[in-house]
A = this chain, B = another copy of it.
């Protein structure tokens, strides 16, 4: 449905519900910060509609609170998994020993969950909506590439450790889910880069690809969380056997077990906050640009 352009560049779409209708101002970058007559007119219009203004402001505040929460949870996940591998599991190496395996949880949690989640919500930040989309698209692609590389190196660590120690690969349910998540993620990144970054990709293809891209993005995060929870659970049972190695059994909940379980809870919480941000239509970057207020696209069509 075509959007109606409000004075000042803010667009208001006709909506089926207030929750779907929310539209933040997305003026072009060139206009941001300038108090034009049109912008003044918009302020007058807003002054006549205080409930809508209040609703808009509340929504922005809730977004930033959730965004801040996601960053804190993500940071807590990375700290927890580093402390677990670095302190409780003996540290890191790349020599085929258990210390090489220790890279696996750190890189998978950091890459496939935290950096991935942070990269997924880049477009939802309202402050970016008034700006040229291309830099944010490149940031999204770069964060996802970092996440993908970390995940692949994380998989290499466990494959290398298994191969050197004559342990079978890809037999557990954890590995099936984790490998699927990484494979779909790699496919998603390649298709996303080809479909949304290449200047030669047609606009019609982008329109078809976009909902699939968004949908697959959520699925990858769900698979990542399931893989992480099963992996942490499995590792704690393997590591905390209460045997001659001097470890306390998992069932007695020693500090390492509490740390591992807490890491799992933090991962679930981070994933839920990210999925909440992604699923809220109020925080989706508006698709249609107000007519007559064009950006300067660096590629063919950057608004897809």
Residues of B within 8 A of A79 (CB): none
C-alpha spacing A268/B223, complex, angstroms: 8
Would you give the shortest CB distance from A197 to chain B, in whole angstroms?
A: 24
Q: Residue A177 at the B interface, CB < 8 A?
A: yes
Residues of B within 8 A of A219 (CB): 272
Residues of B within 8 A of A277 (CB): none
Among A215, A226, A268, the one with the most B-chain Cβ atoms within 10 Å of its Cβ is: A226
Residues of A within 8 A of B (CB): 1, 3, 13-21, 23, 167-168, 171-174, 176-177, 211, 215, 219, 222-223, 225-227, 229-230, 232-234, 236-237, 250-253, 257, 260-261, 264-265, 268, 271-272, 275-276, 279, 281, 287
The residue from B19, B23, B264 contacting A177, defined by CB atoms under 8 A apart: B264
C-alpha spacing A18/B3, complex, angstroms: 12
Can you list 11 pairs linking A and B with CB atoms under 8 Å apart?
A: A14-B16, A15-B15, A16-B16, A20-B281, A168-B251, A172-B233, A172-B261, A173-B260, A222-B268, A226-B229, A237-B237
The residue from B3, B18, B232, B287 contacting A1, defined by CB atoms under 8 A apart: B18
Given A167-B251, A226-B268, A230-B234, 5 more A-B residue pairs with CB atoms under 8 Å apart are A3-B16, A13-B16, A15-B20, A20-B281, A173-B260
